Structures are given as C-alpha cells and as structure tokens.
C-alpha cells in the first residue's frame, strides 16, 4: 500500500506526506523512486542552499537540526536525504548508536511542513520503535527482489525497450547467471544489446558475452566437488583465477553457498516453503529456487565436512605464508 501511495505521489506530483523511508534489497527500484521523489521535492530555487545529503550513520546532528529549523532560502521547501543512516536498526553495534536513534525519535515528531525527509536504507529492523513510528505516521516502502516470473517478464520487457527481443527461457538463464537484482541484469542487457547485430538475443550470445557471477561459478565448483570430479572443480577454480578474483572472496563465496545449502536442506526437512527459506536465508527468489532444487543432490554430512574444511582454509589464508591460490587448490584436492 505504501508503494502505491508513492507511485500516486510521483504520478500526480501532490504529496500528502513529507517523510519517506525506502528500504529493501532491490537497489534498482529503490534508486528509481529515490530519484523520482528527489526530483519532486527538489527546491525550485537556490538548490545548493536548500538541499542536504547525509551519508552513513555518523553525521553531524547539529547540522541536521540547523537544516530542518532554518527557513528555505528563496524557496518554498527544503530536501534532506539520508543514505544508510541505520537509525532503523536498534543494535548499536551494527546499526546507528543510541544517540542518533533517540534524536530521531524526538525529531520526527516535529518536522516542519516545508521540510521533506528521505531515508534510503539497505538494512532495517521492522521491530524497531522508529520503524513502527514512521510506518504509522509517514510512508515506508519496501523494495524486495521481484519474484521469478516478475523478474523474467521484466527482463523480456527490458530487452524490448532496448530494441531487441529475448525468449523467456533465455531471459531466465541470464538472470540465473547474473548477480541478484535488476541493476545487474540491466547492465548485462545493455552490453548484449550493444554487441548483438541481429534483432534477437540468444543463449549463445549470453554465453559469449556474459561472465557468470563468482557465486554462479562457485556453485559449479560445489557441484563438481560433491560429484568427486576434481578435474572439473579445479577447472572452475582456475576460471576464477583467470578473472583475477581474490582468493579470499572465492573462499567467502564457497562458505556462503555451502552454508545456504545446509540451511535450505534443514529448513526443507522442517517443512519450510520457499517464502520462509527466502526470509531465513535473506536471498533472492531465483537463489532460493536454486538452493531448494540443488540441496537434494548433496549429502548433509558431506556439506558439513566441506564447511569445516573451508573454515580451516580460511584460518590458513589469514595466517599462512603459502600462496593463497595454492591453498585453495589444496582445499579442493582434500575435499574430494
């Protein structure tokens, strides 16, 4: 409902609210509506004196107060944009400190009508008092990953808008091998459209032009390891080395995916559905489907063993003088 209100405000140009919280994993949509709202609330004069941007969780609260309390300069409104302020996370270690949260708990009760506040957050906690207050008094909109059908349809439409066509299965394949989110797919689509001479983008074009994400290549490596195919696993690892991927990042991705496969397998045994798995694992719909589809191929004990070996390799990477790439190769050899 809140997103529908934002769409209506953008369309009509008439706002019945002056504080907005945009949050969620889908950066493309979040950035889109941040831009639209910023353009709508941008002061019509003396922009540099009436627009303020605050990034991160450590900013000058006195400067915020001054920006809110002072009247607009030769304009009828002011715009304050906060990116990743983390005030909607009550944990002082990973979120904003108590000082900032307490400030906003009081400040948000008294915002002049000529001041527009826009909070754009990657992380929030829906249990926080501030989040509940904003959802009740103002507008908070979540931008979650599109589900698989929505994402595939959007990708097909994106190619059409770019002057090309792509089949539904090929669009789905492109999404599967690309980093999560619309922005990553859009970048690859624009690259493909520039490369392909004909009117149709095919899977062959994707294979030639799109480099699968590190995560996707790591998934192939896990498949090879569990199939006891050392040659293929080492080949996938070498592909990553050729792409100049850092050994720590490769190992981190390996640990991440093995952990997700373990947890998916355990959740499915408990009767969890796809929605619950997405929520627990904090992953995109395509990723959840892949974990659910693939975890059945693996023995749980084998996954636990691989996870333990990865943890040992991580310790070696941080303390051993041996070449990091060689350490990863040894990890694969010992895992088969």
- Tens of pLDDT, residues 85-132: 999 998 877 889 999 999 999 999 999 999 999 999 998 999 999 999
Are residues 9 and 81 located together in one domain of the fold? yes
Are residues 15 and 133 located together in one domain of the fold? yes
pLDDT at position 214:
84
pLDDT at position 242:
87
pLDDT at position 231:
92
Q: Which residue has the tokens 């002049």?
A: 112
Q: Does the pLDDT at position 163 exceed 90?
A: yes
Are residues 184 and 257 located together in one domain of the fold? no
| Two tokens, residue 114 | 């000529």
CATH code of the domain covering residue 126: 3.40.50.300
Q: How many structural domains compose the chain?
A: 3
Q: How far apart are CA 96 and CA 75, in angstroms?
A: 32
Q: Does the pLDDT at position 321 exceed 70?
A: no
Measured in whole angstroms, the distance separating CA 125 from the mean position of its chain's CA atoms is 16
- Tens of pLDDT, residues 245-277: 888 889 998 999 899 999 999 999 999 999 899
Are residues 97 and 165 located together in one domain of the fold? no
Q: Among 117-126, 169-178, 274-283, 313-322, where is mean pLDDT lowest?
A: 313-322
Nearest C-alpha neighbor of 40 from the set 15, 76, 21, 72: 15
Q: Does the pLDDT at position 278 exceed 80?
A: yes
- Residue 272 CB neighbour total at 10 angstroms: 18
pLDDT at position 213:
82
Are residues 81 and 199 located together in one domain of the fold? no
CATH code of the domain covering residue 263: 1.20.272.10
Q: Does the pLDDT at position 193 exceed 70?
A: yes
pTM score, whole prediction? 0.81
Measured in whole angstroms, the distance separating CA 87 from the mean position of its chain's CA atoms is 19
Are residues 8 and 134 located together in one domain of the fold? yes
Are residues 313 and 228 located together in one domain of the fold? yes
CATH code of the domain covering residue 174: 1.10.8.60
Show Cβ contacts of residue 204 under 8 Å, excluding neighbours closer than 6 positions. none
pLDDT band per the 50, 70, 90 thresholds, residue 64: very high
Are residues 198 and 276 located together in one domain of the fold? no
Percent of the chain exceeding pLDDT 90 equals 62
| Two tokens, residue 264 | 């998916």
Are residues 298 and 270 located together in one domain of the fold? yes
Q: Among 85-89, 169-173, 299-303, where is mean pLDDT lowest?
A: 299-303
Pair 95, 87: CB distance under 8 Å: yes
pLDDT at position 94:
83
Rg of the Cα atoms in the chain: 24
pLDDT at position 1:
61
Write out the residue range of the structural domain in which residue 179 sits: 148-209
Q: How far apart are CA 317 and CA 319, in angstroms?
A: 6
Q: Does the pLDDT at position 288 exceed 70?
A: yes
Are residues 253 and 130 located together in one domain of the fold? no
Q: How far apart are CA 213 and CA 229, in angstroms?
A: 21
What average pLDDT is seen over the chain? 91
């Amino acid at each position: 409902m809140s997103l529908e209100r934002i769409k209506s405000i953008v369309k009509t140009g008439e706002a019945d609210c002056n504080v907005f919280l945009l949050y969620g994993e889908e950066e493309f949509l979040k950035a889109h509506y941040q831009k639209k709202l910023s353009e709508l609330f941008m002061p019509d004069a003396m922009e540099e004196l009436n627009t303020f941007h605050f990034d991160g969780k450590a900013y000058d609260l006195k400067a915020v107060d001054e920006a809110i309390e002072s009247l607009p300069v030769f304009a009828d409104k002011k715009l304050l944009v906060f990116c990743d302020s983390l005030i909607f996370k009550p944990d002082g270690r990973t979120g904003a400190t108590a000082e900032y949260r307490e400030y906003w708990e009081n400040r948000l009760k008294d915002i002049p009508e000529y001041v527009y506040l826009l909070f754009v957050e990657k992380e929030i906690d829906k249990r926080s008092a501030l989040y509940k207050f904003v959802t009740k008094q103002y507008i908070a909109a979540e931008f979650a990953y599109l589900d698989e059908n929505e994402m595939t349809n959007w990708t097909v439409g994106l190619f059409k808008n770019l002057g090309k066509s792509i089949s539904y299965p090929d669009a789905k394949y492109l999404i599967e091998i690309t980093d999560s989110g619309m922005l990553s797919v859009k970048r690859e689509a624009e690259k493909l459209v520039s490369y392909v001479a004909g009117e149709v983008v095919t899977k062959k074009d994707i294979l030639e032009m799109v480099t699968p994400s590190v995560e996707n290549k790591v998934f192939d490596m896990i498949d090879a390891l569990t199939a006891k195919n050392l040659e293929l696993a080492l080949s996938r690892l070498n592909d990553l080395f050729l792409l100049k991927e850092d050994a720590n990042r490769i190992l981190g991705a390996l640990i991440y995916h093995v952990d997700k496969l373990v947890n998916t397998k355990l959740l499915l045994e408990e009767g969890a559905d796809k929605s619950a798995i997405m929520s627990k694992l904090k992953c995109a719909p395509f990723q959840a489907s892949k974990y659910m589809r693939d975890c059945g191929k693996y023995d749980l004990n084998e996954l636990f063993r691989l996870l333990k070996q990865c943890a040992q390799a991580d310790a070696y990477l941080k303390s051993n003088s041996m070449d990091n790439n060689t350490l990863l190769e040894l990890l694969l050899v010992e895992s088969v």
